[in-house]
Amino acid sequence: MINETECDRKLFKDFAKEIGYEMDDATLENFQIKFQKAFTFLPELAVFAGAYSVKKTFQRRTVPPKNIRNNIRIFFHNIISCEALTQGHKDIQIPYVKILPCTMSHNSTFVEGTHANVVLVIIDIDYLKSFLKSDIEHFPFLTRKDQHFLIEEIMSDDILRTVNEIISNRQTEGLEDFFYKLKTMELLYYLFESLTHRDKNASNLKLSEKDILSIYKVRDRIASNLSQPQPINELKKLAGMNELKMRNIFKQIFGLGIYEYYQHLRMTEAARLLREEKLSVSETGYALGFENLSHFTRVFEQHIGLKPKKYSSQFR
């Protein structure tokens, strides 16, 4: 008799085999799978959604799938509003999107006791371009010959809502594939609409794996304490590069300058505290290092679109 764990592993292995992705039993044994869903529209598109916890710390070299050759991989991380994905743990992490080209492999470290949830969209670049048409000029990374880029975007409400519509759908009869394909394209629409707001004059540097790892150390340091900004001199030392290069690479990957990114994370956390922890406006402002609540209100409205009191009233 096949138990539930074996069924979960088989589903993932079948999906991995279909898209040409290498995954062995030994690696799968390091995960406790809590939820998963997969569907494919080969050779143009494949989607996987899953939640898991890590049973043992290990590293893995992640390589691109072989059966959607000219692809980009889009990871929607930390879909925290979906109960099915968060049941059993209380980890709170900011949702974000990461875009990688088919040519980029990378090392991933999985730490024992951590939890993750993700939706992965793998799409053929030419297929994507057929939808973008003349708008392709807004996304130069899709036409780069070296195909060596990394982009990270904070999820908008539209992106997060659509991701959760894909995850939470309970439809079991009739037009199921049609539903998922349309929702995936809707999700990509909101993502690329969000990307149009990036600075078109930002640097377009070819990134080494060392540069990427260094900039993520900077990002992690910024995110580690949202009550005060990190000194630039300390971030330079952490990155091991001069200030100009650090700022250029940071903006190229994250779409915002270092301080702007810090403020965006800060206000995203403020919204969460108001929405989920039910803190008052003053408690939220003080928790995030604001001494002047009028200043907090102005910054919050700039980033979220509503004054914090009006925003919190929607969730009371």
**Last-in-domain residue among 155, 172, 195:** 195
User: 101 lies in a domain?
Assistant: yes
82 vs 214: CA distance, rounded Å? 32
Domain boundaries, position 309 = 209-313
Residue 134 and residue 216 in one domain: no
Q: Are residues 154 and 17 in the same domain?
A: yes
Report whether pLDDT(169) > 70. Answer: no
**Which residues touch 225 (CB under 8 Å, ≥6 apart)?**
none
CATH number, domain with residue 40: 2.60.120
Q: Domain total for the chain?
A: 2
One domain, residues 215 and 256? yes
Q: Which two tokens stand for residue 239?
A: 């990155």
| Each residue's pLDDT tens digit, 194-207 | 999 887 767 777 88
- Please say which residue of 171, 195, 219 terminates a domain: 195
Q: 49 and 137 in one domain?
A: yes
Bridge partners of 96, per DSSP, are: 77, 154
pLDDT at 167: 83
**96-108 pLDDT per residue, tens:** 899 988 877 777 7
Per-residue pLDDT, 88: 43
Specify the DSSP class assigned to residue 31. Answer: E
Question: In this structure, is residue 200 part of a structural domain?
Answer: no
- Please tell me whether residues 15 and 137 are part of one structural domain: yes
| Pairing relationship of beta strands 58-62 and 71-77 according to DSSP bridges | unpaired
Query: What is the per-residue pLDDT across 77-93, written as a single tens digit (0 to 9) for each?
Result: 887 544 444 444 444 46
Q: Which amino acid is at 293?
A: L
For CA atoms 171, 172, 176, 180, give the dihedral sign.
positive
Inside any domain, residue 189: yes
Percent of the chain exceeding pLDDT 90 equals 45
Report if residue 203 sits inside a domain. no
Same domain as 247, residue 108 = no
Span 283-299, mean pLDDT?
A: 95
* pLDDT for the residue 170: 61
The DSSP code sequence of 177-197 is HHHHHHHHHHHHHHHHHHHTT
Round to whole Å and give the CA distance between 258 and 243. Answer: 11
166 and 33 share one domain: yes
Q: Is pTM beyond 0.95 here?
A: no
pLDDT at position 85 is 40
- Name the maximum alpha-carbon separation found in the chain: 63
Instruction: Indicate if 23 and 169 belong to the same structural domain.
Output: yes
Q: How confident is the model at residue 146 (pLDDT cuts 50, 70, 90)?
A: low
Instruction: Identify whether 202 is part of a domain.
Output: no
Domain presence at residue 142: yes
In a domain, 56, yes or no: yes
Higher pLDDT, 280 or 165: 280
Question: Which residue, of 146, 168, 195, is where some domain finishes?
Answer: 195
| 41 has a pLDDT exceeding 70 | yes
- Closest by CA to 195, choosing from 241, 149, 126, 243, is 149
Q: What is the mean pLDDT of residues 152-179?
A: 81
Looking at per-residue pLDDT, the higher value among 75 and 35 belongs to 75
Residues 139 and 219 in one domain: no
Strand partners, 153: 97
Cα first-last separation, the chain? 48
Going by C-alpha positions, the residue among 67, 187, 190, 167 that lies closest to residue 117 is: 167
42 lies in a domain?
A: yes
Read off the amino acid at residue 122: I
The tens digit of pLDDT for each residue in 262-280 reads 999 999 899 989 988 999 9
Instruction: Decide if pLDDT at 138 tops 50.
Output: yes
CATH of the domain at 308: 1.10.10.60
pLDDT bucket at 172, cuts 50 / 70 / 90 = low
Angle at CA of residue 32, ends 28 and 36, nearest 5°: 85
280 with 213, same domain: the answer is yes
pLDDT at 177: 85
The pLDDT score that the predictor gives to residue 82 is: 43
Whether 226 and 259 map to the same domain: the answer is yes
Once rounded to an integer, what is the mean pLDDT over residues 230-255? 95
Computed from CA positions of residues 165, 50, 61, 16, in that sequence, does the dihedral angle turn out positive or negative? Answer: negative
Q: At what angle do helices 258-275 and 293-304 cross, to 10 degrees?
A: 100
State whether 120 and 179 are in the same domain.
Answer: yes
Is 58 a residue whose pLDDT tops 90? Answer: no
